[in-house]
Structure 1
């Protein structure tokens, strides 16, 4: 990443919780905000595997927040810091802090769901990207929440190689805070299909061919008035490491 230095900044969100964001590329370029997934960080999702650098190389101003409870952002342990839709509200707080009105917006997994929550609550990016997120993960958030709650409340008990063990191993690599991450689960809000179908923003839906963690991504693209579906190699954990993810996002946003 030597070609594009990364600057890290902090700001106070709507309720005073301090959040971090990382920036790469041309400060005068077209802004694109990319939101990482649950348990992850901006560094792991977007920087480590070169996706952000590909966008920077195309002249974008790449803005990569760390979600509340994740990465270099604050990780409060007070349940009151995790009201419903707080991640969506943090997203709007960042847009306001940066004064962004003409921008692109996207995310992977929980970042994709957060992007969608912003869209149905009035965000108007030029284009949007929903990656690693299927219809069930948008309309019925409890399903995945139950899985993660089981992992976070039974750490150290899973059979080596199991899905839960792999999830816990990922938590260790990102130095996640189990208490803060448990509280994040109470912030999830379901989105009815009718609200998804009302989104007018041109949207790329991109997911791994073996990623069924959140239901069908094709069904999301089919619901959207201006949705297009791209399948890349991999499952939910591996697709984010693939160069095809960054390539698909660049082609859509720079096309």
Structure 2
């Protein structure tokens, strides 16, 4: 077992080969990690230290390369990236591993995917951690069409839109398939109704950086849910909040409290 360089495997769902790792204590409580847009399991969860943090705490740590990302297959049809479709990939991974349920933690787009998984398969989700996405889950996070345009631009030098430039740079750093990502950003933005959010009864922690200009208020989202707590991640923006020590400590405390309550 190596908590720094995990071994990836593949499974198949809906005709796609999807890449994942399964590390940590095989007898520990399973935590399924769902990464954000233009990222992958390594960039979102290994490099910022989540695999080591959760593994050292005794958890079984599972992470998926979402379709269109990392080593998973990369369809070019935006309909393949609806968040409820991508949520089925996560549930299919639990099936593949023979797990009846797991804690689920998603960041940004991964938080949206995790929410749809909880709405449609609440019995498979022990708890939710939603990072980098607050009330934007229900109210929207702004106009993302310029991001798709930036990803498809012939040259990064031609991109002037600030958020588009940020994600174009991130996609280039992760050596992503920019055409697949453009389809993904167009297909994965469906909002969740406030009514559906209110039906999620599993314990939920919502963590957002105080300098995040994308996610929206975690307090407003938590107020819609019957069993949710909001966390401010101090002085972190959307990109930096994911690996913050305050966030990690809060998640470990959240999981410990759930174990103590059983």
Q: Does the TM-score normalized on the shorter chain lie above 0.5?
A: yes
How far, CA to CA, are the matches of 2:230 and 2:77 in structure 1?
Answer: 39
Does residue 1:211 correspond to 2:212, yes or no? yes
1:240 to 239, 242, 250: 242
Q: Which runs of 5+ in 2 are unaligned?
A: 258-262
User: Are the counterparts in 2 of residues 106 and 130 from structure 1 also a CA contact under 8 Å?
Assistant: yes
1:192 aligned residue: 193
Helix, strand or coil at the partner of 2:179: helix
Q: Which moved more, 1:173-182 or 1:94-103?
A: 94-103
How many corresponding residue pairs?
252
Is residue 2:22 matched to residue 1:26?
no
Q: What is the CA-CA distance between 1:190 and the residue it aligns to?
A: 1.9
Q: The residue matched to 2:75 in structure 1 has which SS?
A: coil
SS of the aligned residue for 2:122 comes to: coil
Q: Report which stretch shifted further, 63-72 or 19-28.
A: 19-28
- Assess if the C-alpha contact under 8 Å between 2:81 and 2:187 holds in 1: yes
Name 1:229's counterpart in structure 2: 230
Report whether the alignment pairs 1:38 with 2:37.
yes
Are the aligned partners of 1:217 and 1:229 in contact in 2 as well (CA < 8 Å)? Answer: yes
DSSP-derived class of the 2:231 partner = strand
TM-score (norm 2): 0.88
Which segment drifts farther, 81-90 or 209-218?
81-90
SS in 2 for 1:74: coil
CA distance in 2, matches of 1:108, 1:83: 16
Q: TM-score, normalised by structure 1?
A: 0.90
Distance 2:110 2:122 in 1: 14
Distance in 1 (CA, whole Å) between partners of 2:78 and 2:131 is 28
1:63 aligns with 2:62: yes
Task: Report what 2:176 is aligned to.
Answer: 176
Contact preservation (8 Å) 1:82, 1:187: yes
Contact 1:51 1:247 in 2 (8 A): no
In structure 1, the residue matched to 2:87 is: 88
Deviations 1:199-236 (A, max 9, x none): 10010001101113032221111111010011113010
Tell me the equivalent position of 1:72: 71
How far is 1:122 from its partner? 2.2
Q: Give the corresponding residue for 1:163.
A: 163
User: Greater relative contact order: 1 or 2 (C-alpha under 8 angstroms, separation 6 or more)?
Assistant: 1
CA contact (8 A) 1:51 1:243 kept: no
Is the 8 Å Cα contact of residues 86 and 187 (structure 1) preserved in structure 2? Answer: no
What displacement does 1:92 show? 1.6
| 3-state SS in 2 of match to 1:63 | strand
Aligned with 1:101: secondary structure?
Answer: coil
| Alignment correspondent of 1:135 | 135
d(CA) in 2 for partners of 1:127 and 1:60? Answer: 14
Instruction: Say which is worse superposed, 22-31 or 198-207, in terms of deviation.
Output: 22-31
